[in-house]
Amino acid sequence: MKIVADDKIPYLKGVFEPYAEVVYLPGGKITSADVADADALITRTRTGCDRALLENSKVKIVATATIGIDHLNTAELDEMGILWRNAPGCNADSVKNYIASALASLDKDLSGKTLGIIGVGHVGKKISEVGRAFNMDVLLNDPPRAEVEGGSAFTGLDELLSKSDIVTLHVPLEISGRYPTLNMADENFFAKMKPGAYFFNSCRGEVMDKAAFISAKNSGKIAGALIDVWPGEPDLDPALLEVVEIGTPHIAGYSREGKANGTTASVRAVAEFFDLAPLKNFQLPALPPPVFPEMIELDNTLPAWKQISQAVLHVYDVTRDAAELKAAPSQFEALRGNYWNRREFSAYTVKNFSPGAKKSLELLGFKTG
C-alpha cells in the first residue's frame, strides 16, 4: 500500500510506515503524477483534491486533517468513487483560544457588550462560550440551523449586524446553494454594521469582499479588525494587511491540540478504510509541554475581566503572531509551517483568582486550583 501525505501534518511520520510506503510532499505541490500509484492521500488545505488531481490515480480515500473541506471537490470525489473524510471540530478549541486572545488584547471591560457570531457549528458554539466568559451578550446567526431547529435561538443577520459590538465569522465557504457564503461580508454587510464595531474573520478569506472591507475600514465604519484568513492567500494584498490591526497567517486553529486532533482523525479514517486494526483507535503520545509556566498566578485585586485577560494573554497573545506577519508578509507559508508550540488553555492551571472570575476561567477551559 502507498500513502501520499502533506509533509506539514504533525505527528504523522512513522505512524503508517509499518503498513505502507509513505511519501511526504509539500501540500501545495502535490501533482497527479505523485498520486498516480497511491492508495490514499492525507492532506490539509493547500492541496486541491479534484478530478484533475485524482482521476487517473489509484487513490481510494482522501483524508484531510482539517475541519474545512473547500479544498475538496466532494462532488467530483463522490462521482469517482473516492471516499473523503475531514476532521469535524478538530481545532474548535484552538479557534476559541484565538478569539479569546483577540478579546483580551482589546484591554477593555466587555461586560454588557454584544458579540455577534455568524455560523454556529463546531467552532461557533465554542465562540459563544468565549462571549459568555467575558460577560458579553451573545447573538447567534445560522440560517441552516435555524431552519432545522427553529429560529428562537437565532437572530437575523440584519439585526445581528446592527446590534453587535463585535462581529465574528465562522461559516464554511459555500459557493452556491441555498446559503452561499462567498463574499457574504460585502458592501451591504458592512453598511449594516453598528458604527464603531469590530470585525473578525477566522473562517475563510473568500467569505469577505476585500474591497468592501477596505472601504469600510478606511471610512471609520469599522473600529478595528482581526483577520486570520485572506483572499488569495498565501499572497497577501499589502493594502489589506495595512488596514488590519491584528492580522495572522491562518493559524487560528494551529494549537498543538488542534493539529493533533486533525492528525488523529485522519489516521483513524484511513485505518478504518483499510482495516488496519492497530490504528483504528490511534492515540498520539503526550504533547510537548507548554512554552510558558503551566501554573498561572493571578492578581485577584484586579477586576474580574482583567484577571481573565491576564490568564488568556499568559497562554497566548495573538498580537505577537500579528507582529511577525506584519514584519514579513512574504513569509506567510513559513510562519504557518514552522508555527510555535501553542498549547490550549486546558494545559494550564490558574490560581489566586477572585470568586467573580472563577466561572469565566473554567468556561474558557482553564483548570482552577
- Find out whether the peptide bond into 288 is cis, omega within 30 degrees of 0: no
> CA 161 to CA 44: how far, in whole Å?
32
Contact 60, 83 (CB under 8 A): yes
pLDDT at 369: 87
- Evaluate if residue 250 carries a pLDDT over 90: yes
End-to-end Cα spacing for the chain = 49
Grid cell at residue 264: 488523529
pLDDT digit string, tens, across residues 92-141:
999 999 999 999 999 999 999 999 999 999 999 999 999 999 999 999 99
Can you say whether the dihedral through the CA atoms of 93, 108, 168, 313 is positive or negative?
A: negative
Residues in the chain: 369
Comparing CA positions, the residue from 273, 355, 323, 38 lying closest to residue 30 is 38
Q: List, in order, residues 6 or more apart from 162 with CB less than 8 Å away.
A: 192, 193, 194
- Evaluate if residue 285 carries a pLDDT over 90: no
Comparing CA positions, the residue from 208, 263, 268 lying closest to residue 240 is 208
pLDDT at 151: 87
Share of the chain above pLDDT 70, in %: 100
The 10 Å CB-count burial string (b at 16+, else e) for 112-136 is ebbbbbbbbbbbbbbbbbbbbbbbb
pLDDT bracket for residue 240 (50, 70, 90): very high
pLDDT at 355: 95
pLDDT at 82: 98
- Evaluate if residue 76 carries a pLDDT over 90: yes
Give me the active site residues, please: 204, 233, 250
pLDDT digit string, tens, across residues 164-201:
999 999 999 999 899 999 999 999 999 999 999 999 99
pTM, entire model: 0.94
CA angle 293–295–300, rounded 5-degree value: 120
The number of angstroms, rounded, from the C-alpha of 23 to the middle of its chain's C-alpha atoms is 27
Grid cell at residue 311: 490568564
Comparing CA positions, the residue from 169, 186, 190, 183 lying closest to residue 68 is 169
pLDDT at 98: 98
Grid cell at residue 146: 435555524
pLDDT digit string, tens, across residues 292-310:
999 999 999 999 999 999 9
Q: List, in order, residues 6 or more apart from 327 with CB less than 8 Å away.
A: none
pLDDT bracket for residue 287 (50, 70, 90): very high
> CA 99 to CA 133: how far, in whole Å?
12
CA dihedral 216, 219, 223, 224 (to 10 degrees): 60
